[in-house]
């Protein structure tokens, strides 16, 4: 029986440090914006919000929820393919933990370990959890690349005149996404390469006295690789699963990008079409997705102002950015954190009830 992993990213001390960093970044971002624009007063923002069309704000919230739920269902489909049934609430907490910890850790590095932790708690073996996450990361990243290339085709002329900073960020972001896809494929298809890489990592850690018994670690690693590869082979024999999860990830991306569109409509604007707006959101996502900053705070806000200055009147550009980011990032990760807390409380009560029976 495989040992359940300890999720280090979930320790209270680490979470507090991450949240403090996020708080500092938010403060610096809003302080800079206020200095630059001079129109971030509460009374002004409130007056703008009061004039919004409520039905579109509601739709933005609905699509934010859809974004989380669809990711959870993608993970549930992969788990089911390996013989594990994930309930709706469990699948949603897999996604919520990924989104929450990705939002507060640099380059979203805390998301996958968080999902793995909750899967292990539900009895999914570590090797199969790894299979689920590697396949999902591959298809999640592939969906972003597909959306990014489509956006580049739709807004190519705009991209050529968007400025060197955005062009460089987009190019670097696309290269990093392609490298991540290559790494995932390597993990799926080259067992020997992964074993050699694992041996090298274990050797380095042993040399620096991070691990004591090199032989024990190598033995455990080799056993895990074998089980992981068995899971990957099983998934590869089910192409419809791969296609459905890829389609789900593309749908999830569209749901996320649609949040900005509904905010745009809430301001009563209609000059830009839905496809063009979503394309700009996709360009923005590629440009900032791989930055080593929690939630790309600061970079996302600045890039939004640059990309959408032609879509919004100058008077509402900053409020539109704040509302868009407020829903698709800040509120989203806060609500995901609340959902995780409620899930913990419910699981704790259920476990306590079972022990008392």
Q: Where do we find the tokens 């056993």?
A: 223
Q: What is the pLDDT of residues 88-113, one digit of tens each?
A: 989 999 999 888 887 777 666 677 77
Q: How confident is the model at residue 261 (pLDDT cuts 50, 70, 90)?
A: very high
Residue 336 belongs to a domain: yes
Calculate mean pLDDT across residues 59-71.
95
- pLDDT of 12 higher than 70: no
Q: How far apart are CA 266 and CA 59, in angstroms?
A: 10
Residue 8 belongs to a domain: no
DSSP per-residue letters across 23-48: HHHHHHHHHHHHHHHS---HHHHHHH
Q: What is the pLDDT of residues 216-256, one digit of tens each?
A: 767 766 666 665 666 667 767 788 888 999 999 999 999 99
Residue 82 belongs to a domain: yes
Calculate mean pLDDT across residues 193-201.
66
Q: What is the pLDDT of residues 286-331, one digit of tens each?
A: 988 766 666 556 677 778 888 888 888 888 888 888 888 888 888 8
Within 10 Å of residue 247's Cβ, how many Cβ atoms?
13
Residue 288 or residue 212, greater confidence: 288
User: Which structure tokens are listed for 241?
Assistant: 């699963």
Residue 142 in contact with residue 181, Cβ under 8 Å? yes
- pLDDT of 214 higher than 50: yes
Domain range for 224: 13-356
Residue 6 belongs to a domain: no
User: Which structure tokens are listed for 132?
Assistant: 């689920």
Residue 274 belongs to a domain: yes
Domain count, the chain: 1
Q: How confident is the model at residue 4 (pLDDT cuts 50, 70, 90)?
A: very low
Residue 5 belongs to a domain: no
Tell me what pLDDT residue 265 has: 94
Q: pTM value?
A: 0.78
Tell me what pLDDT residue 8 has: 45
Phi-psi region of 108 (alpha: psi -120 to 50; beta: other; left: phi over 0): left
Residue 2 belongs to a domain: no
Residue 114 belongs to a domain: yes
- pLDDT of 17 higher than 60: no
Calculate mean pLDDT across residues 144-169.
89
Q: How confident is the model at residue 22 (pLDDT cuts 50, 70, 90)?
A: low
Strands (E), the chain: none
Residue 134 or residue 39, greater confidence: 134
- Measure Cα distances from 68 to 89, 99, 165 in Å: 11, 8, 31
């Amino acid at each position: 029986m495989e040992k359940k992993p300890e999720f280090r990213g979930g320790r209270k001390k680490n979470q507090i440090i991450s949240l403090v960093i996020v708080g500092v970044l938010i403060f610096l971002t809003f302080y800079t914006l206020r200095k630059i624009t001079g129109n971030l007063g509460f009374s002004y923002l409130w007056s703008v919000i009061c004039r919004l069309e409520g039905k579109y704000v509601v739709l933005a919230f609905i699509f934010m929820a859809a974004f989380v739920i669809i990711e959870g269902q993608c993970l549930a489909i992969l788990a089911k393919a390996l013989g594990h049934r994930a309930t709706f609430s469990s699948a949603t907490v897999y996604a919520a933990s990924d989104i929450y910890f990705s939002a507060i850790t640099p380059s979203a590095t805390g998301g996958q370990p968080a999902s793995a932790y909750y899967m292990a708690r539900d009895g999914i073996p570590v090797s199969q959890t790894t299979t689920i996450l590697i396949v999902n990361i591959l298809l999640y990243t592939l969906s972003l690349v597909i959306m990014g290339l489509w956006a580049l085709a739709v807004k190519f002329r705009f991209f050529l005149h968007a400025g060197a900073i955005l062009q460089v960020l987009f190019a670097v972001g696309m290269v990093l996404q392609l490298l991540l896809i290559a790494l995932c494929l390597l993990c799926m298809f080259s067992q020997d390469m992964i074993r050699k890489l694992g041996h090298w990592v274990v050797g380095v850690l042993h040399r620096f006295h991070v691990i004591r018994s090199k032989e024990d670690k190598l033995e455990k690693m080799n056993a895990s690789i074998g089980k992981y590869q068995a899971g990957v082979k099983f998934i590869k024999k089910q192409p419809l699963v791969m296609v459905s999860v890829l389609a789900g990830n593309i749908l999830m991306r569209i749901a996320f990008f649609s949040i900005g569109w509904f905010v745009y409509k809430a301001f009563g604007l209609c000059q830009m079409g839905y496809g063009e707006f979503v394309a700009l959101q996709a360009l923005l996502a590629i440009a900032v997705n791989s930055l080593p900053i929690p939630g790309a705070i600061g970079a996302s806000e600045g890039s939004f102002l640059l990309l959408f200055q032609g879509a919004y009147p100058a008077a509402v550009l900053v409020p539109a950015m704040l509302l868009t980011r407020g829903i698709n990032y800040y509120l989203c990760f806060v609500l995901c954190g609340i959902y995780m807390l409620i899930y913990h409380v419910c699981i704790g009560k259920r476990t306590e009830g079972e022990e008392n029976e």
